[in-house]
Structures are given as structure tokens and as C-alpha cells.
Chains A and B, each alone.
Chain A
């Protein structure tokens, strides 16, 4: 049996204590965990979905710019972080599963563990409107 690295386990424990939406992915972008505040944005419950492959959860959002144009994946902070292991930030609109439009800001950063090992990424969503 292989357990997650302690850096991911502690990230999850921190996310559970925060009152802002937090998503945690592995290095491929598969969603390992999202907290209760993130459940509201996603329109899903972690208890029900568990971990989600990148193909599944990335299609839940439709990220749009201010003019309503669909954004390409490369424009999204979390995708940039996963591609270059650097922090990223951006603002855009999303339509959640329940059909509501939200303007959000996203800050993402890589989880660089001890020995500089790249273990995944954390994305924090800030609801603006």
C-alpha cells in the first residue's frame, strides 16, 4: 500500500481548517481533495465524488473572460502551475454545475516537498461576485 507524501497529507489537513475554497491536485492535475468551501463552487461533495481524474473535474467549469469568451486551459493559473512549477494568479468567470455565474480569482502554487520534490499543486479560489 502506498500512502500520499506527508506534504500532501498536511496540505489537506490545512485545507480542512480554512474558510476559503481550496483544491489540491497531484502533478498530473488529478483532483485529490477539495474542502467544504470548494464544494459550493464545484456543486459536488467530496464525500460523494472522492478523488477525480483531471479529465472529469476540468470539464465541470466553463471558464470565461469578461466578454464571455471561453478561455483555453493554458490561460488557467492551475494549469500554468502544473506546467512550470511556479505560482500563478488570474481572474475569470465560471459557470458552476448548478448554472450560476461567478467571478473568481484563482491563486495556485506548486507543492514542492523536502528535497525539492514536485508533489502536486494547490489552488485557492476567491469568489469576487
Chain B
């Protein structure tokens, strides 16, 4: 399995040159296995998907964690939607009240977007997921709801012995309670447990977090603790705050060296970077 990071930024894309190195596009991940691929989240990073890769297939699977705008903003600009020969499968969290189609329509319709979702020429199929398990491109995909405002799922993708976990928007412990409850009482831990690579929310610094409790995101310190409890091998800090420049992110990561759980490798997610799990 190969993971390519197409967008790393949280909340809002950034065009600030000082955020160029870690990337200004919002959440989008390409997951490929041999010559097939799917994407997770459709932030503005979806535009970085290579045209060559797109030209090779007619079925496209887009797995959404949730419908906050930074995770769907690129959806309407995904070129395969406008080709009637293409089959587009959108997977997203089930809600108690409205269908996935109904919720996507809110963004993909005027006045927010010029074209109605139903008018897109491609063949569309929507899949509502909750605590689900399915196979895609020869990879096993597991999902579960996680702690974030509105229906939000995280993903655990398994390729043989290798596990990739993606929880980009996540506040596992509101107000910092509950670190000692045991793994099964921690949001998303079934997805993160013993992952070889985990991409996890780390929007705030320790100093910023107290003013953002309940907003649905983690501090960098919480993300590190979470990956440590999960016994993950490598953590990619993700959902960079649009106000954090590259040099600030460098400084923040340096300040955690020496405080990381044993056996855990930590990096900031970088737009364009690729990880091979095999």
C-alpha cells in the first residue's frame, strides 16, 4: 500500500508563502495498491491528484471522514465528476437525520456551487458508513465514529500485516479527561491500535488548546500521547493550523524531542510526501 499526502492543512487553505513547505492545501490522501487507488477526503489537495493516474481508471472511490468544508471543498472540482463514463463512489458517515446525499447537496448546489450534485454527468453511488468494514482496491477498510462535532469517522486500512490509520479531525479527550480509562474507552483506539502509520489531528499547540476545548481538535501533545497509547510506529502530525508557519511548525516539533513515547517516530505531514507500507 502506498500513501501520498495531497493536502495537510486544517480548516482553511493557505496561500501564505511561509506555509509552502508543509503545504497549504486542505485534507486529501491518495491510497494506492498496485495500479488501483482511492482517495480519503476531498479538500483542496484533491486538485494535486496526477492527471495520468486519473486517466487510468473509470471508477473513483472518495472516502470522506466528515462533511466539514475543509474536507469537501475540492469535491466539486474533481474532474472525473464531469465525465459521464465515470463511476463515482462517495463513502461518508451516516447521520441520524439526513442522508449523505442530502448533506452533500447543501454544498454542491447554488448559491455555494454553480452545479447541482444531481446534475453532475458521472454515474454516482453513495455509501453511508458507520462502524463498517469493506474491501477496496484489495485493501481492508474499517471505520468507526470518532469524537468530533457532527458525524465523523476515522479509517483503518490494512494491507496484509501493515496498517494505516487516518483520523484527521479528532478531540479524543474533551477537556483532557480520561487518559487512564484503558484503551477501549478512548475514541478511535480500535482504528489506531498498533498502526504502522497514523495520520492524526494536531492543530493546536499546548498553549492554544485551553481556548479551543470542544472545537473538535487535538493539541500536538495530545496527538503524540494518543499515538503512544495506540502503540503506533509512526505519527504524522496533520491538520496544520492555517496560522502556523513552516518555521513555527519546525520549532514546535523540536520542542517535543526527548518527550516522545518509546518506539514512536514523529514527523509533520508534508504535502506531496509518499509513504510505502510493505
* A-to-B contact residues, CB < 8 Å: 1-7, 9-10, 12-13, 16, 113-117
Set of chain B residues within 8 Å of A7, measured between Cβ atoms: 145
- B183 touches A (CB below 8 Å): yes
Q: Which of B174, B178, B187 contacts A3 (CB 8 A)?
A: B187
**A4 adjacent to B130 (CB under 8 Å):** no
Looking at A1, A9, A16, which has the most chain B CB atoms within 10 Å of its CB?
Answer: A9
Contact B174 A13 (CB under 8 A): yes
Inter-subunit contact A6/B145 (CB<8 Å): yes
Minimum Cβ distance to chain A for residue B146 (Å): 6
Q: Which residues of chain B from 128 to 185 have any CB-CB distance to chain A below 8 Å in the complex?
A: 128, 130-131, 144-147, 151, 174, 177-178, 181, 183-185
Known interface pairs A12-B185, A16-B177. Does A2 touch B145 (Cβ–Cβ under 8 Å)?
Answer: no
Known contacts A10-B147, A13-B178, A115-B130: does B190 contact A1 (CB below 8 Å)? yes
Q: Determine how close the nearest CB of chain A comes to the CB of B225; give it in whole angstroms.
A: 16
Within 8 Å CB of A16, what residues of B?
177-178
Contact of B130 among A10, A12, A117 (CB under 8 A): A117
Give B199 Cβ to nearest chain A Cβ, in Å. Answer: 18
B49 within 8 A of A: no
| A6/B130 contact (C-beta < 8 A), A12-B181, A13-B174 known | no
Q: How far is the CB of A60 from chain B (nearest CB, A)?
A: 23
Q: Can you give 21 A-B contacts (C-beta < 8 A)? A: A1-B189, A1-B190, A1-B194, A2-B190, A3-B144, A3-B184, A3-B188, A3-B189, A3-B191, A3-B193, A6-B144, A6-B146, A6-B147, A12-B178, A12-B181, A13-B177, A16-B178, A114-B94, A115-B96, A116-B96, A117-B131
What's the minimum C-beta distance from B167 to chain A, rounded to whole angstroms? 12
B183: chain A residues at CB < 8 Å are 1, 3
Check: B102 CB closer than 8 A to any chain A CB: no
The 8 Å CB contact of B96, one of A1, A9, A114, is A114
Say yes or no: A115-B189 contact (C-beta < 8 A), given A1-B184, A13-B177.
no
Known contacts A1-B193, A6-B147, then 17 further A-B pairs from the complex at CB < 8 Å, ordered by chain A residue: A1-B183, A1-B189, A2-B190, A3-B185, A3-B190, A3-B193, A4-B184, A5-B131, A6-B144, A6-B145, A10-B147, A12-B181, A12-B185, A16-B177, A113-B145, A114-B95, A117-B131
B186 at the interface (CB under 8 A from A): yes
Known: A1-B193, A13-B177. A114 touches B188 (CB 8 A): no
Q: Are B151 and A114 in contact (CB under 8 A)?
A: yes
